[in-house]
Structure 1
Amino acid sequence: MLPKDLDALAGACPVVASYGGRDRALRGAAARLRTSLDRLGVVHDVHEYPQAGHSFLNDAEVGPRPLRPLFRVMGMGPDPEAAADAVQRIETFFATHLSTPHTEKAES
């Protein structure tokens, strides 16, 4: 979920976010977040996967077994193609923004 006051993100650390376009609970969240982060000058990688739904990064079906068919109809559950791309984006983003700069050891 997005914060109610997106302006509170001013000065935030770099943000990476992935959304499923079929996630009804978060419809439009990617666009709203991207627009706000652009306006606030926060470094980000926000992407929406149109074919994916809620829980698309999960490896296994979501929820109790009897409810899984309903969740699939609702567009919830794994999407291996979107998940693979999202994981790659996350890893690249972390490598870029969380890596420790190497400094040469001063000679004694």
Structure 2
Amino acid sequence: MENTISKLDEHRSTTPSKWRENAEWRMANKSWMRYSQRIAMMMLDKMEELGLTQKTLAERMDCSQQYISRVLKGTENLSLETISKIENALHLEILEPAFAPR
């Protein structure tokens, strides 16, 4: 038993885990994250349909590929400006149906 514990100790991280902070952050931001995740899924579907890479989309939106990667994780708090850029780059309606006259 001691041998097992000592082997586990050898692989223990020296930095403390941030799982609690991350979980609390997700709970505090749950409402807008739902929208961000839906937008990310819409983007991924459209990118697949158009055969676009993250790099190509980043070029169309005039931003970095790293930013596109963060957006596609569904945890980025998107501004209206960014949503508009996504719509234009992917020929996708994200907000339009919500604001269409009835």
Please state which band the TM-score falls in when normalised by the shorter chain: under 0.3
**TM-score (norm: length of structure 2):** 0.27
* Structure with more strand by fraction: 1
**TM-score (norm: length of structure 1):** 0.26
